[in-house]
Structure 1
Amino acid sequence: MTELMFGALLEQGADRPQDVIGLAELMEQVGLDVVSLSDHPYWPERLDTVALLSAIVARTSRITVLPNLMNLPLRPPAGLARTAATLDILSGGRFELGLGAGAQQMWESIIAEGGPARGAGESIEALEEATELIRALWTSKEDVNFNGEHYHLGGAKPGPAPLHEIPIWFGAYQPRMLRATGRLADGWIPSSPFFPPAALTDANRIIDEAAESADRSPSAVRRGYNIDGVFGTEPGFLRGSAKQWAEQLAELVVDERITAFFLYRVHDPDVLRRFAAEVAPAVRDLVA
C-alpha cells in the first residue's frame, strides 16, 4: 500500500500574515507530512499563494509543499511550469502541484481578474491541455510547440527541470473531470464539505475505469481528501473523539484507497498538534 500522508490546508488571511508560515513550521515540527494552500487570487482578504509557498519552502526543510489547488484560469501554464520547477529545486524536491480547472461559481470573479470566460467543458479541456504543456516544459529536450484550443506555445524553451518528477493532483467532482483525472493526473483531491465519504466509491470507480481505458493502472492515481472536522462528542463524520476520527479515516484508507488526508482550512495550532499526535499514528496503526 502507498505510504499514508497527513497534512493540512491552511488558512492564509492577509490580516495575519505570519500565522500561516508559523503554522507550516509547526506542522513540520510535529511530524505532519504535507502543508497545502488554496489559491483564490480574486479574494483580496487572502495572501498570494505562490508568494506564501515560496516563504514556506524557505522556512522548512522536510515537509512536502502543495498548492491545493492552483487556480489555472489565472495562472498561465507556461509560467506555472517554471514556478513549480523553481519551488521544487529550492525545496530540495519537496514540491507537488495541484491544479484546479476553476470553480464555475467563481467564474465571474475570474473574469473580473482578467481571466478567460469558460464553460465547464472548456475548463476541463484547458486543464488537460495545461497538464500536457506543463509536463513538456519540465521534460522536453527540444523547444516546445503546442497548439491547443486554449493554450499555444511556439517553440518555447523548456526548463528549468524540476529536481524530481513532480506529481500533478486534480480537484474533481463531476464525471467528466473524474475521467480526466483517471487519464492524466497523479493524484485526486476532493473536499469533504462538498463531497462526503458516501460519494467516494462511485467517483473512485469512474477514475479507475478512465485510467484503465488510458492503459494506466488505477493505482497510478493517488487518492487524497480534504477533511473538515471538529474534535467533540457529536455523531457524524469527524465530529467525535480522536479515536473515532482514526477509525473513520482508517476505514477510508481500506475501503476507498484514500492515502492522503488534509485538514480543511486550519488556523488553530492545537488542532494540528492533536491531529499529528493522536490521529495520524492511530490511523497508521489501524491500517497496519
Structure 2
Amino acid sequence: MTDYGHDLLFGSFVTPSSARPAEVVDLAVASERAGLDLVTFQDHPYQPALLDAQSLLAFVAARTTRVRLAANVTNLPLRPPAVLARTAATLDLLSGGRFELGIGAGGFREAVVAMGGRGLAPGASVDALAEAIGLIRELWNTEERGGVHRDGTYYSAHGAKRGPRPAHDIGVWVGAYGPRMLALTGRLATGWLPSYDYLKEGAASLPAMNARIDDAAREAGRDPREIRRFLNIMKPERATVDFLTELAVEHGISGFVVGGDDEGAIRRLGEEVAPAVRRAHASGRAGG
C-alpha cells in the first residue's frame, strides 16, 4: 500500500476539437455538473484540428464556477515561460483560483519547429523545462522586490517585472516518463501527470517511477508527499471502480483524469465511479 496523504480528485480529458467548439465547452460544463474536480485539454498549438488550449481554458473558466482547469500538458517550446507565467496568473485570478499549470518538455519536435519554436534534443528539453519552472515561479513571487534576473541556457530574464500574483499557489504538474524527467518532477513539481497508455508495463511501472520521484524529492530536501500523483486514463472503459481503487490504494495515485468525449461517460464517472472509489479508498486506508 502506498499513500501520499491526498484526497482523491477526478477529472475529464476533453478533446478540444476545433470542428465542434460548442460541444467542447458543453462537455466541460457537464464535467462540473457531474461533480468532477478537474477539466483538462491537450495543448498542441501546431494542430489546426484542435482549439488553442489557453484561449479555451479562459472561455471555460467563464462558463464554470467550481471545477479546476489545466492544460494536459502545456507545450513549453511554443509557450515562452515568462509569458506563460502571466497567462497562468491571469487565468487563476479570473477563475478565482481554479487554474493549475500542467506542463511538459514538449514533444513532436518537427511540428514545433514548423511553428517557429526551437527543436531541442530530449536531454536539452529537460534542462529547458527546469529553467522554465524556475523562471515562472520567480515571476509569480511578488514578495521579493525588484525585477527577475536569471541567466539560463534556454530562458533568461533581465529585470522582468514580477506579477501579477496568482489567486492561489498554482500547482505545477509535470508530464514525465524518463528518469531525468521523473527526477525533475521530484525536485521541482507539485504534481506528476503521466498517461497510463504510455507506461511501458502498465501499473507495474508505477512503483519504480514513484520511487524515482521520491528519491529525487528527498535529495532536494522535499517531502515526497508534496507531489500529488495523477494518471490520465485515456480509455474510459478502463476507468472501473476496481481498477481505480487499486491504483489509489496500491500506488498512491490520487488524481484520475479520464478521456472520452461522451457526456454519459462523464456523468457515470462523476456520479457513480468517483463516489465508489472514494469509499473504497477510505476503507483501504483504514484497513491499511
Give the TM bin, normalised by the shorter chain: over 0.9
SS state of the match for residue 21, structure 2? coil
Which residue in the other structure is 1:256 paired with?
A: 251
Q: How many residues end up aligned between the 2 structures?
A: 274
Q: Structure 1-normalised TM-score?
A: 0.93
Is 1:12 the counterpart of 2:6? The answer is no
SS state of the match for residue 88, structure 2? helix
Correspondences of 1:33-52 after superposition (within 5 Å): 33-52=37-56
Over residues 183-216 of structure 1, what are the superposed CA-to-partner deviations in whole Å (9 max), with x where a residue is unaligned? Answer: 0000001101111212111100100000000010
Is 1:205 the counterpart of 2:211? The answer is yes
Q: Residues of 2 paired with 1:282 and 1:91: CA distance?
A: 29
Which residue in the other structure is 1:85 paired with?
A: 89
Which residue in the other structure is 2:275 paired with?
A: 281
Runs of 4+ in 1 over 3 A off after TM superposition: none
Offset of 1:228 from its aligned partner?
A: 2.4
Q: Residues of 2 paired with 1:82 and 1:108: CA distance?
A: 27
Q: Structure 2-normalised TM-score?
A: 0.93
Q: Residues of 2 paired with 1:272 and 1:230: CA distance?
A: 9
Correspondences of 1:218-229 after superposition (within 5 Å): 218-229=224-235
Q: Residues of 1 paired with 2:172 and 2:39: CA distance?
A: 15
Query: Aligned residues: percent identity?
Result: 48
Q: Residues of 1 paired with 2:236 and 2:175: CA distance?
A: 23
Offset of 1:161 from its aligned partner?
A: 0.5
* Residues 1:94 and 1:152: Cα distance change in structure 2 (over 3 Å): same
Q: 1:191 aligns with which of 183, 192, 195?
A: 195
Q: 2:183 aligns with which of 170, 179, 184?
A: 179
Which residue in the other structure is 2:172 paired with?
A: 168
SS state of the match for residue 145, structure 1? strand
SS state of the match for residue 99, structure 2? coil
Which residue in the other structure is 1:159 paired with?
A: 163
SS state of the match for residue 90, structure 2? helix
Which residue in the other structure is 1:122 paired with?
A: 124
Over residues 46-84 of structure 1, what are the superposed CA-to-partner deviations in whole Å (9 max), with x where a residue is unaligned? Answer: 010011000000000000011110000000000000000
Over residues 108-152 of structure 1, what are the superposed CA-to-partner deviations in whole Å (9 max), with x where a residue is unaligned? Answer: 000110001211110000000000000000014321011000011
Offset of 1:17 from its aligned partner?
A: 1.0
Is 1:59 the counterpart of 2:63? The answer is yes
Offset of 1:229 from its aligned partner?
A: 2.7
Q: Residues of 1 paired with 2:148 and 2:270: CA distance?
A: 43
SS state of the match for residue 132, structure 1? helix
Segments of structure 2 that go 5 or more residues without pairing to the other structure are: 283-288
Offset of 1:230 from its aligned partner?
A: 4.2
Q: 1:133 aligns with which of 122, 131, 135?
A: 135
Q: Residues of 2 paired with 1:27 and 1:125: CA distance?
A: 35
Q: 1:72 aligns with which of 57, 76, 81?
A: 76
Offset of 1:277 from its aligned partner?
A: 1.6
**Higher RCO, 1 vs 2 (CA within 8 Å, ≥6 residues apart):** 2
Is 1:101 the counterpart of 2:105? The answer is yes
Which residue in the other structure is 1:234 paired with?
A: none
Return 245-254 or 180-189, whichever deviates more.
245-254
SS state of the match for residue 18, structure 1? helix
Letter in 1 for 2:122: A
Over residues 77-105 of structure 1, what are the superposed CA-to-partner deviations in whole Å (9 max), with x where a residue is unaligned? Answer: 000000000000000001110111012xx
* Residues 1:167 and 1:230: Cα distance change in structure 2 (over 3 Å): closer
Which residue in the other structure is 1:235 paired with?
A: none
Q: Residues of 2 paired with 1:116 and 1:65: CA distance?
A: 27
